[in-house]
């Protein structure tokens, strides 16, 4: 829950160095407050119920279990709670399963403090931030991960601008970078993304990339 005009964040990470860095980054970000930290899944689940945070930053590889259990718990909570996975590069095989469990985004521990705060802000605004390094692997990973692809649809048509927006997102660019490259406003990018989601019947960047790839749209 928010503390005044701040949004509460729970951080679950077993490595002290990364935990401290994440806590410092979130604390320095305007509008966010670290409500608590945990180094195990069990402690994270306990603090989730006790603190009722707005956001959970969670690593998947915890010493007593997978962070996916915490993602599920946050998704099923009786208050709005969004989960953002933060992991090391090389864990790309976990991306799809984490997002399917309900994670709203997937970023890297090596991302800058500013990027981490921007990712939290993007989630707060309804976005699904993905680190560029992770995004570049998604098109290769998704076909193998999707054992039962969604049915092909011959009726979906993206405009040239929507296709350009989606291609840049698939390449790992953030919305502001997409706006700068296409010389359009950030709001216009948001409108295109909303239309893409609606046409493809998806709710996240990752699902949009997967659906568009299966249908030959990107």
Q: Three-state SS string across 111-156, please?
A: CCHHHHHHHHHHHHCCCCCECHHHHHHHHHHHHHHCCCCCCCCCCC
Say what the alpha-carbon torsion angle 179, 184, 185, 191 is, to the nearest 10 degrees.
-90
Residues of the chain with pLDDT under 50: 1-2, 144-153
Per-residue pLDDT tens over the stretch 36-93: 999 999 999 999 999 999 999 999 889 999 899 999 999 999 999 999 998 875 555 6
Encoding tokens for residue 2? 């928010």
Beta strands 32-38 and 105-108: pairing type?
A: unpaired
Domains within the chain, CATH numbers bracketed:
7-131 (3.40.50.2300), 146-214 (1.10.10.10)
Give the residue among 145, 93, 135 at the shortest CA–CA distance from 111. 135
Q: Rounded distance, CA 215 to CA 193, Å?
A: 17
Look at the alpha carbons of 192, 198, 204, 208 in this order and tell me if their dihedral is positive or negative: negative
Give the pTM. 0.69
């Amino acid at each position: 829950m928010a503390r005044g005009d701040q949004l509460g964040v729970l951080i679950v990470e077993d490595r002290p160095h990364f935990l401290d860095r994440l806590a410092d980054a979130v604390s320095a970000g305007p509008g966010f407050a670290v409500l608590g930290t945990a180094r195990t899944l069990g402690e994270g689940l306990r603090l989730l119920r006790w603190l009722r945070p707005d956001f959970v930053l969670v690593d998947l590889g915890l010493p007593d279990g997978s962070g996916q259990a915490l993602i599920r718990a946050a998704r099923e909570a009786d208050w709005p709670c969004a989960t953002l996975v933060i992991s090391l590069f090389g864990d790309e095989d976990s991306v799809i399963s984490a997002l399917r469990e309900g994670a709203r985004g997937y970023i890297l521990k090596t991302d800058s403090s500013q990027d981490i705060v921007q990712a939290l802000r993007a989630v707060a605004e309804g976005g699904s931030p993905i680190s560029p390094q992770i995004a570049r692997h998604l098109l290769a990973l998704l076909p193998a991960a999707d054992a039962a692809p969604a049915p092909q649809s011959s009726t979906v048509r993206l405009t040239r601008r929507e296709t350009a927006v989606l291609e840049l997102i698939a390449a790992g660019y953030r919305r502001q970078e997409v706006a700068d490259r296409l010389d359009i406003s950030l709001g216009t990018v948001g409108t295109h993304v909303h239309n893409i989601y609606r046409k493809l019947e998806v709710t996240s960047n990752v699902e949009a990339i997967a659906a568009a790839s299966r249908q030959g749209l990107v």
